[in-house]
Structure 1
Amino acid sequence: MTAQMHVPSLLSRAGAVSALTLAAVGGTLLAPGAASEAQAATTHANKALSVAASKKGAPYRYGSSGPSRFDCSGLTLYAYKQAGKSLPRTAQQQYNKTRHISASSRQQGDLVFFHSGGRVYHVGIYAGSGKIWHSPKTGSWVKLDKIWSSKVYYGRVR
């Protein structure tokens, strides 16, 4: 056999069927070494979480989105922007743009939205162990706090 005859056999019959089956059911084929969508989302979330934590102690200022003062949604906007993702300005708009997930599915770097009467009024970045990084209110600063309410939604930045 010549080298030309071996080229078609590089993709086994089972591999061809698997690839075609995956394509037929709407799957995604990735090049070897390419990051999956989930891996990319995790990378962005971890970077955003790290950025938020690095702002520990930065003073709260209503309407501010960094780099040295923040309100709650300004912190999440800034952190995700540094991680290469864009978010809208307010907590409610950020909630509307994220993929909504259950509490059992939450991961570090996901957004935690506090709500009352269906209205989102506060947002932070999930840090794990029931805690968030956030910029809570006038007279306060960016800090790590326990989630203090059961009235929260979770969102994953796409």
Structure 2
Amino acid sequence: RGGTDPDTGLDCSGFVQVVFKDAIGMLLPRTAREQSEVGAVIDRQELKAGDLVFFNTMRRAFSHVGIYLGDNRFMHAPRSGAEIRIEDMRESYWINRYNGARRLLAR
């Protein structure tokens, strides 16, 4: 179901995997749920660019992940094969599905 190949399409966690591997050589687990168990738990008010943000989009906690960009925006792959999108976390869809955030990078 998921996508881990940038040429054929990435799902949300595959996108996060590729970005962190290519940018800093960090290897992350495969699924959003597994990625939610890595790094330090942080409050929404403490979000910084590069943090992972998690959402319940499939009636399961931590079923979707994106990369926080700052100013309440995050980047994600909506589904395998779809274009990468930037979303506003203040939209009701994301507010109602927000599960938490993790910081993987020391600052």
Give TM class, smaller chain. 0.7 to 0.9
What residue is the counterpart of 2:4 in the other structure? 65
Q: Which structure has more strand as a fraction of its residues?
A: 2
- Higher normalized contact order (CA 8 Å, seq sep 6+, divided by chain length): 2
User: What's the TM-score, normalizing by structure 1?
Assistant: 0.55
Q: Which has the larger radius of gyration?
A: 1
Say whether residues 1:86 and 2:31 are aligned partners: no
**1:130 counterpart residue number:** 72
- Which residue, out of 7, 17, 33, partners 1:77? 17
Matches within 5 A, 1:1-158: 62-68=1-7, 69-82=9-22, 83-115=24-56, 119-137=61-79, 140-147=82-89, 148=91, 149-150=94-95, 151-157=98-104
Q: How many residues align?
A: 97
Structure 1: 4+ residue segments shifted above 3 A = none
Gaps in structure 1 of 5+ consecutive residues: 1-61
Q: TM-score, normalised by structure 2?
A: 0.79
C-alpha distance in 2 between matches for 1:64 and 1:78:
11
Gap runs ≥5 in structure 2: none
Question: Which structure features the higher share of helix residues?
Answer: 1
CA RMSD of aligned residues (A): 2.0
